[in-house]
Amino acid sequence: MAAEAESRRGDAAPLAADEIRSVVGTPGSLVIEKELDRLDAHVQAFIAHSPLVVIASADADGRCDASPRGDPPGFVRVLDERTLLIPDRKGNRRADTMLNIAANAHVGLLFYVPGSRETVRVNGRAEVTDDDALLEPSAMQGKPPKLGIVVHVDEVFFHCARSSVRAGLWEPSRWPDASGLATLGKVLSDQVCSTELDADELDEGLEQSNRDLY
């Protein structure tokens, strides 16, 4: 597969920054000036309505990861106009994002609000905390998170709707038929040689795990 991809690329060299800019052009003043260094009232309102954020991070060698975090709207708390707290909930224990942050503090956040075509992007520096007093207000079902991600904001801006419009993200009539996709249990039974469980058993276990959220 890698060889096929390399063949399709041919002999073309990767484009340099100035070559990319020559194709894309220069952003207009509005695009530049909308970038803030703080969370203003509009951004805070959007985050308060957001039940999903994707966190991009990288380790010390630059290997990247993007991970979703979801909870009831407003689960990402605005501590002040330059600081956010993202609670860490029960998961698969990979801890990719937090381990990356321990080695490389730079992160990028992308906030979604269902039905809103725009998104909010936040870039900054993060740290992992186990401060009980800081984490207690993020409790769900009486269970505070054991860890949280504190993000110190460097830049923030609203991202325009074009990608969502192109994707038809919130238009059910444009959604693809996913009925032919394999269940995760089937995927894992085919991919993980060490598992002794069949697809149905894996799906049952995954459903139980999904009910035990906190």
pLDDT band at 175, cuts 50/70/90?
Answer: very high
Q: Give residue-wise pLDDT tens across range 70-100.
A: 999 999 999 999 999 999 998 889 999 999 9
Measured CA to CA, the distance from residue 90 to residue 73 in angstroms comes to 18
The pLDDT of 181-189, averaged and rounded, is: 94
The pLDDT of 22-33, averaged and rounded, is: 93
Measured CA to CA, the distance from residue 82 to residue 121 in angstroms comes to 14
Domains, the chain, with CATH or none: 32-167 (2.30.110.10), 180-211 (no CATH)
The pLDDT value recorded for residue 123 is 98
* Residue 85, burial from CB neighbour count under 10 angstroms (0-12, 13-18, 19+): buried
Phi, psi of 5 (to 5 degrees): -65, -40
Q: Say if residue 4's pLDDT is above 70.
A: no
Q: Give residue-wise pLDDT tens across range 120-136.
A: 999 999 999 999 999 99
Measured CA to CA, the distance from residue 174 to residue 172 in angstroms comes to 5
Q: Cβ contacts of residue 69 below 8 Å, gap of 6+? A: 52, 53, 54, 55, 75, 76, 86, 89
pLDDT band at 173, cuts 50/70/90?
Answer: very high
What is the three-class DSSP state of 70?
Answer: strand
The pLDDT value recorded for residue 9 is 60
Structure tokens at 160: 């325009």
pLDDT band at 11, cuts 50/70/90?
Answer: confident
User: Comparing C-alpha atoms, which of 43, 101, 97, 51 is closest to residue 74?
Assistant: 51
Between the alpha carbon of residue 103 and those of residues 58, 61, 95, 129, the distances in Å are 8, 9, 13, 14
Q: Say if residue 1's pLDDT is above 70.
A: no
The pLDDT value recorded for residue 12 is 86
Q: Give residue-wise pLDDT tens across range 134-162.
A: 999 999 999 999 999 999 999 999 999 99
